[in-house]
Structure 1
Amino acid sequence: MNWCRYRAGDKIVYGIIEGDIVWEATKSPFEGGIATGECQLLSHVSLCLPCIPANFYAAGANYLGHLAWAADNLGGNGKAPSRADIGYRASNSLVAQGEYITIPRDSSGLVQAEGELVAVIGKTVKHLTRRNALDFVLGYTIGNDVSERTWQSSDRTMWRAKNTDTFNPMGPWITPGLDPGALEVTTRINGVEVSHYHTK
């Protein structure tokens, strides 16, 4: 079972995907929604962002594999931070799967994709521990942390480099119950593979 949001007539609703069918949900998964009796073929609906987060963050700077890649490709030092280093992402940068990424006119043109696993938090929570953190994850989806590399090297907070309109495609749906340490993420641009990694 996967959760999605899709356009139904003149409204956007949450849906529950089972096979090639999407069932309209009574409300969001964050509110305990369940399937109604209304369904359509998944191929007949227009999928939207699977959720609209009030806040979302990037944690790539905490992963040794990502740090090693950055050191080899972007000139980073490859050292892990002494404590969690979290990057803010702005909701204006979100677009749904299949929508276009627009590169601004004043960009240097050095824009790269960063395919990433996205954890969708299901409840408001604070002061988690390593032991209970995954208990609050609703499920996982896929994101692309698009990065303008020239801006990234000069913007202290990466406000343009990673938060420009359309720079964070996400979706198409949220899948509960996955093991985040046993997945593979492949990134393709126009069908051409540009990165592939395991999350373990």
Structure 2
Amino acid sequence: MRIARFSIDGNVAFGAVEGEGTVDSGDLVLDIIKGIPYADFELSGVKVPLNKVRLLPPVLPSKIVAVGRNYAEHAAELGHSVVDEAGRPEAPLTFFKPSTSVIGPGDAIAYPAFSSDLHHEAELAVVIGRMCREVPPERVKDVIFGYTAANDVTARDVQQREKQWARAKGFDTSCPLGPWVETELDPADLTLQCTVNGEQRQLGRTSDMIRPVADLIAHISEAMTLLPGDVILTGTPAGVGPLNVGDEVAVTIEGIGTLTNKVIKRG
């Protein structure tokens, strides 16, 4: 099931997406959900055309936990290794993006004034569905609500010159999510693509992850409690590159859909 969060006439609601097509095709409708989707819910039967509402970020996470260097080719293109001197895999590299970085489909990415080298990073995002801690890998599927597309927008020059990544990856509008959450999906081997102005920049498969989703959530939940709506970003494949003011960047993930955002000058 595809679950979208949207606003209409000043009200915010969740709805189940019905039909086949893209966000702008006019072929999709929303069946409004009674309550919130993390617990048992009912469909109201009240339906609205998706192109008549404003899609919002599909979740409002208390935190976004991101994983770096989870695709070997991407680590290599930035000059990093994913193994230690003994040839053993490094521990997952994790960092936070704040909730204030989240925007939804169609929202603008505001180019930060403190950077001159903004990059796209297309990623599969995992949405947590229940409060959990110390989840073993074999139980991870029980705590997942679903999956959505993400763009870990990065001020690459700031990332390279500052020891911590808080400003480089946590500025306002640096975490587009959407267009909805797909609750019935196997994340093991999905095509992941990023285009800029229609030109392909990134193309990879989730099967190329160094650590799969179950291992990542087990690792992260060893350290912290995850709450419903929290988001785990699982890393980006090779091909990251620059974004400029006026660009349209789109992240497409097999089985989910396409997340599209334009880059504007920060006012």
With structure 2 as the length reference, what TM-score do the two structures score?
0.69
Q: 1:155: how far off?
A: 2.5
- 1:69 match: 74
More deviation, 77-86/38-47: 77-86
RCO higher in structure (CA 8 A, sep ≥6):
2
- 1:113-150 CA-to-partner distances (Å, cap 9, x unmatched) read 00000010100001111111122111100000011111
Q: CA separation of 1:166/1:150 partners in 2, compared to 1, >3 Å: closer, same or farther?
A: same
Distance 1:133 1:183 in 2: 18
Aligned residues of 1:22 and 1:39 also touching (Cα < 8 A) = yes
Root mean square deviation, CA, Å: 1.5
- 1:25 match: 33
Distance 1:133 1:155 in 2: 34
Aligned residues of 1:95 and 1:168 also touching (Cα < 8 A) = yes
With structure 1 as the length reference, what TM-score do the two structures score?
0.91
Gaps of 5+ in 1: none
Counterpart pick for 1:159 among 160, 166, 180? 166
More deviation, 139-148/189-198: 189-198
More deviation, 83-92/177-186: 83-92
- 1:102 match: 110
Larger % of strand: which?
2
Distance 2:68 2:139 in 1: 21
| 1:135 alignment partner AA | D
Question: How many residues in Structure 1 have an aligned counterpart in Structure 2?
Answer: 195
Aligned residues of 1:68 and 1:78 also touching (Cα < 8 A) = no
- 1:15 match: 15
- 1:127-177 CA-to-partner distances (Å, cap 9, x unmatched) read 111111122111100000011111111223311111111111000100012
- 1:160-198 CA-to-partner distances (Å, cap 9, x unmatched) read 111111111000100012111121111112222110111
- 2:136 match: 129
Distance 1:60 1:131 in 2: 23
User: How high is the sequence identity, in percent, across the aligned residues?
Assistant: 29
| 1:24 alignment partner AA | I
- 1:54 match: 62
Gaps of 5+ in 2: 20-27, 208-267
